[in-house]
Structure 1
């Protein structure tokens, strides 16, 4: 059952052209909200905006570019006012090997998008949301991969672990206000980010179901939302194992494709270390 009743009136969704982002946008649009659709694929974003042209706008900034995000926020708030929901969903994933020089650029770009991009998403809205004194929510999409490092996935795990810590800090700072902070930790969602995975994905969840669960959880005031919950239980159970045994189990799994390998997902704005130094 959808959330097509009184819900958030004004939402911002980054990564709105990914599978999860599209599902979130569709659910919010169907509920009657005005939605700022932020992403890199204009045709997909425009198709979403066509569902409610009078309530949607399309933006294509680099989420790690603070000036571009401030311009986006200023335009949206001039049209629709301060949002009561901001979902920082934009993210990239990919395998990583410290010994490969070209992968250092992958790590830098992943941290820029997955970690810095959340702060640059929240920043331009924060003061207006606080000054409204109305209940509102900031949502950061992290991952269960941020709970523990995994072989061949160091950049992604580090970016999501950093995000979880950042959201904890922000939540503590905003306790005295009407603005809440929510950490979402998906396991495996059936999206382009997992399409190239060559390992088992327990609890694989459809993005539409995940979007509804996220929005319900935020509406219910849950500060930590795991999608699906059983993946969180499995991850916690594995964490009880001795570290050497835990690592041995993970080392036996196929690794996520690195940038440039078959099945790897694109990383927007990725520049190799060699080119960056020229």
Structure 2
């Protein structure tokens, strides 16, 4: 199949999946706006095709900054036909800890609001163009809440519902909306996990499957598919059984705990306290 996209905007381009997506898009001849926070990594990616790539380093939750990036990109390369909102953060969450409220706020800003701020400044031009794909990376974690992971699950669950709404709004416009639900990918976001990760997938494999699914017009893409089947099978259990199974699993590390991943832009007065979990 000929790759149908020639002009792509990619957020979270310096993460594990983001770098894999960037390399695939560049290899397939697309012009790529590389959006992220790690400038050296983005510059290294851009050097693969400097005439087709531009680096941007905004906070994806900053609407004005994202609008400025979009204007600059469209002046340089025209209207995109592929938007991939991939920027995301993860971390454990404990409602009893006051500092974790800042973690939830920031996670919602990046994982949920950041998708809307990625799509919004391009949408009018893409509708006028009459074609294009809007892709957002959600998660299997958005299908059901998991103990100790409430902030992440809420952000991804909210994202899935937002994408459902946007998909309905854009029917008949020539634009498509694609929800990507990965299970576990071998990236920095999962490196600190101390629990079983069935179906653990390399980001390069995930990137290829993601782009192939979007090119084929699949609106719901699960990576890998078997983790989606497993999740659906577990959902058939009585809720109390499902909760009991999850409660026995180790929790994702909270900020300040060993194995926790950094959350850019997080503002708390002190690192969240580490207290024994009951």
TM-score range (shorter-chain normalised) is over 0.9
Distance 1:115 1:193 in 2: 17
- In the TM superposition, residue 6 of structure 1 has moved relative to its aligned partner by 3.9
- In the TM superposition, residue 272 of structure 1 has moved relative to its aligned partner by 1.3
Partner deviation per Cα, 1:208-263 (whole Å, 9 max, x = no partner):
00000000000100000000000000000000001111010001110000011111
Q: Which runs of structure 2 are paired with 1:67-78 in the superposition (5 Å)? A: 67-78=64-75
Partner deviation per Cα, 1:105-128 (whole Å, 9 max, x = no partner):
000000000000000000000001
Relative distance call for 1:71 and 1:228 in structure 2 (3 A) is: same
Relative distance call for 1:198 and 1:141 in structure 2 (3 A) is: same
Distance 2:149 2:78 in 1: 40
Distance 2:269 2:157 in 1: 24
Q: Which runs of structure 2 are paired with 1:1-278 in the superposition (5 Å)? A: 5-133=2-130, 135-272=131-268
Distance 2:256 2:33 in 1: 32
- In the TM superposition, residue 176 of structure 1 has moved relative to its aligned partner by 1.6
Distance 2:255 2:81 in 1: 36
Whether contact under 8 Å (1:7, 1:31) holds in the other structure is no
Relative distance call for 1:78 and 1:129 in structure 2 (3 A) is: same
Distance 1:193 1:102 in 2: 20
Indicate the RMSD between aligned Cα atoms, in angstroms.
1.1
Specify the alignment match of 2:275 in structure 1.
Answer: none
Partner deviation per Cα, 1:255-278 (whole Å, 9 max, x = no partner):
000011111000000011679xxx
Distance 1:83 1:106 in 2: 32
Whether contact under 8 Å (2:115, 2:136) holds in the other structure is yes
Whether contact under 8 Å (2:91, 2:253) holds in the other structure is yes
Per the alignment, in what secondary structure is the counterpart of residue 86 of structure 1?
Answer: strand
Distance 1:116 1:191 in 2: 22
Normalised by the length of structure 1, the TM-score is: 0.96
Relative distance call for 1:273 and 1:123 in structure 2 (3 A) is: farther
Distance 1:247 1:86 in 2: 36
Normalised by the length of structure 2, the TM-score is: 0.96
Whether contact under 8 Å (2:3, 2:215) holds in the other structure is no
Distance 2:202 2:226 in 1: 14
Unaligned runs of 5+ in 1: none
Per the alignment, in what secondary structure is the counterpart of residue 96 of structure 1?
Answer: coil
Distance 1:7 1:210 in 2: 19
Whether contact under 8 Å (1:104, 1:273) holds in the other structure is no
Unaligned runs of 5+ in 2: 272-278
